[in-house]
Amino acid sequence: MARHTGSLEQRLAAVIAPAQGDRGPFYEVLRPPSHATVKETKKDGYAEVACIVPEGHICIQWRLEETGRFLFLRGDKNADGALLLLGPDGQVEAHIIECKRKVTQGKWEDILQQMRWTLYKLLALAGVLGLSSDEVYLGTAYRFDELSEESSPNPALGKPTLGGASEQTPGEDELSESRLRQLAWETDVVHLAGFDGAFHHVKVQLDEDSGHGVYRILAPRSRSAREP
């Protein structure tokens, strides 16, 4: 895989200049022992997730709220956290984290849509930097889980494509789709519309009172146990 020369900071400054009126760069480069912090600031659903960067890795944390930068991507759905992780061996990973106070059937579909659009943008940004993402990891941070079977046992729940809108009429197929979404949440293997294959998903249980939690980015040797 071809790589651009120069330090990461130099490459970022060269190809991603702030637009007029910007408050500053919409990215931050982090190295251990620093960690990325993903936040949801709404008062009723405040969340703060510390994303631990493994030793020897570099993390680029992106602020994607300014969707006007990406005129070719009109979707305005963004996950709370968008990270590119560069390993010492040259491997590049995309990590997307969404924070929700409560996960329900409807919220889970919203989460998948937010992850889908954020992944499009992360891959575009990686391409601009001359990088190609080797792996994609998804994470949902939440206080309350109302989607797991023990929380909402409904044998009737039983499919549109995950992360995409349904083109089917209401009925058994729609119920089957809901069931599939529930199973995706429980098994931590999800599909996103427009992308081939499955992505690994991590659930991050937040403290119910403070909304704080930790998303651990594991080094490659530690991943085998959690890969789908």
Segment 121-126 mean pLDDT: 90
Residue 123 in domain: yes
Residue 164 in domain: no
Residue 211 in domain: yes
Per-residue pLDDT of 127-153, as tens digits, reads 988 898 899 999 999 999 999 877 655
Residue 180 in domain: no
> What is the span of the domain harbouring residue 63?
25-148+194-217
How many separate domains does the chain show?
1
Residue 223 in domain: no
Type of residue at 61: Q
Segment 44-72 mean pLDDT: 82
pLDDT of 161 higher than 80: no
> Could you give the CA distance from residue 180 to residue 157 in angstroms, rounded to a whole number?
8
Whether residue 38 contacts residue 65, with contact meaning beta carbons closer than 8 Å, is answered with no
